[in-house]
Each structure stands twice: as C-alpha cells, then as structure tokens.
Amino acid sequence: MHTVVLGAGTMGRDIAHVCAVAGHEVTLRDVDEGALTTAREHIAANLTGGVERGKLSEKDRSAALDRIATTTDLADAAGADLAVEAVPEDLELKHAVLSEAESVVADDALIATNTSSLSVTSVTDALADPTRGVGLHFFNPAYVMELVEVVIGERTSERTRERAEEVVVDLGKQAVTVTDTPGFASSRLGVALGCEAMRMVESGVASAADIDAAMELGYRHPTGPLELTDLVGLDVRLDILEYLREELGERFRPPQVLKRKVRAGKLGRKTGEGFYVWSDGEPVRPADR
C-alpha cells in the first residue's frame, strides 16, 4: 500500500512511522523542508529506540526508514491508496490540503483526517466525493499507542468504514468506531480528565507529578493527564476545550492556569515547559503553577 501523510509535525511523522513499520510505502509531505528534515530525524531516533527496547530488529528499522520518502511536492504521492491529513486544526487549511490531495491520489483512495476535535463531516466537505472521507484519529505517540478512533462522518460510506477499520488492523492497531460528534469519544473523555487535573493544580490540591502518579498507579493510566497535556501541547488542548465549550457547554470551560500558560508560550514538551519542565524530551520536574 502507498500511503501519503500530509503534514510532518508531531502526529504526521508518527503516523508515517507506524505506516512504514507496517510495510506501507510512505510519502511524507509538508510545505516546509525543515519540518521534513526534523521529522525524518525523529522517526529515525524513534525506530532506534524500538530496536533498543526489542520491539524491532535492526533490519526492520532500516527497511522501515527506507520506505519513507519526504517531499514538498504532492505530485510525488500520485496514485496513493491512502491519504492521512495531519495538519494543524484549522478548517480552511484542512480543506485546502484534502482538496489538493484528492486530485493526485488514486480514484478509489481512502482519504482520512487525523483531526482530534473538528467535525469530520465538515473537514471532508472539501472532497468532491465525501463518501470516501473518514476520520482516523491516532493518539500521541502514535507508534506506541494501540488505539485508532475511526470516526464516521455523515457522508462516509459503509465501504469506507469497512476499509478504514481494515487499515487500522493492518497497521497493528485496535479500532474503535464512533459517530461524528464533538470530541468523538476519546478527546471528550480525555480533555474532561485533563481539565479537572488542571483545576486541581490551580487550587493547590497536589502537584502535577502527584496527580499524574495517582492516575498512573491507581487507575493504570500509562501517562498521567498533565504529562499527556504537555505531550499533546497546551495550545492544542486549549483549542479543543474552546471548541467543546462552544458545542457542549460550560463543563468544558478552559481552566485559567491553562490560558495563562498558553499566553506565556509554555506549551509543553515542544517549548520546554508546560505543567512540567522538560529536558531532552523528558519531564524533569513539575513547573511552577
């Protein structure tokens, strides 16, 4: 299968990684050459980590990396069987990217958006044939997390749903299929937990590290809600909460501590500080409130 991943940010590069390990020929496309260089470096490092943890052989690592081509020219993705959009959560940008992709991929290609909050129906409205549009919501980090949420838009065909679920299985992931509602299932539950954890930090209930430890040790969450917020990006979480507040009401009102940190440019791991201070990609201590 030839897969084109549109956008070489955190999610795009991880989705490219997952597809390449599963045996897909991958074209990773971004308009920024620097982003593509950084993405390839991250993928190579993460694949090396997989070898060190015994998840991959050195041969598998090299083969996966060889299957990934990076480009700024979407024409290099001509005839692709699967397109996955992973650009920022801006509806106009997603429309432009998907419309352009539809013009070069195979006539029967599956066209997916990785949006975590926007309406899949609205995103895939840009397609001339929206029946082949679907949500494939991967989780961060996509090469570790087992879940992919298959989100069915109002015009998604039954055949598209079946093919999307087959793709998820082919990638070695577990599909959970949901209808196109605000926040789907995972984002809605995840941000609700994260939002309450932020309010607990804000009111001095406990430190970020202790709140996260309570969920990791008491509920077997692999990552606590505040560290996960740092990984996702505080700006991304704020955008999702604002959207859910508009759609579903005040229970999704963003906490003030989140707004303050975003205004200060403290966006999590990508800026070096969020609810934690980060060094070499790892949280080293809770940040000041």
Model pLDDT for residues 58-90, shown as the tens digit of each residue: 999 999 999 999 999 999 999 999 999 999 888
CA distance 163 to 115: 19
Among 231, 286, 214, CA closest to 257: 286
pLDDT tens digits along 156-169 = 999 999 999 999 99
Band of residue 232 on the pLDDT scale cut at 50, 70, 90: confident
Residue bearing the bigger pLDDT, 117 or 196: 196
User: Following CA atoms 127, 131, 132, 138 in sequence, which dihedral angle do they give, to the nearest 10 degrees?
Assistant: 90
Placement of tokens 């956008």 in the chain: 7
| Contact assessment for residue 287 and residue 271, using Cβ atoms and an 8 Å cutoff | no
Residue bearing the bigger pLDDT, 96 or 182: 96
What is the identity of the amino acid at 194? G
What is the identity of the amino acid at 145? M
Residue 283 has pLDDT above 80, yes or no: yes
- The pTM assigned to this predicted structure is 0.83
Amino acid 139: pLDDT: 87
Amino acid 241: pLDDT: 92
Distances (CA, A) of 97 to 14, 24, 27, 161: 19, 21, 15, 21
| Contact assessment for residue 254 and residue 245, using Cβ atoms and an 8 Å cutoff | yes
Amino acid 141: pLDDT: 84
| Contact assessment for residue 191 and residue 244, using Cβ atoms and an 8 Å cutoff | yes
Amino acid 183: pLDDT: 81
CA distance 163 to 82: 10
Amino acid 32: pLDDT: 95
Domains of the chain: 2-179 (3.40.50.720), 190-279 (1.10.1040.10)
Residue 252 has pLDDT above 80, yes or no: yes
Residue 289 has pLDDT above 80, yes or no: no
pLDDT tens digits along 49-65 = 999 999 999 999 999 99
Among 180, 191, 34, CA closest to 112: 180
The H or E element that residue 100 is part of is helix 91-102
Band of residue 280 on the pLDDT scale cut at 50, 70, 90: confident
CA distance 195 to 179: 23
CA distance 10 to 235: 14
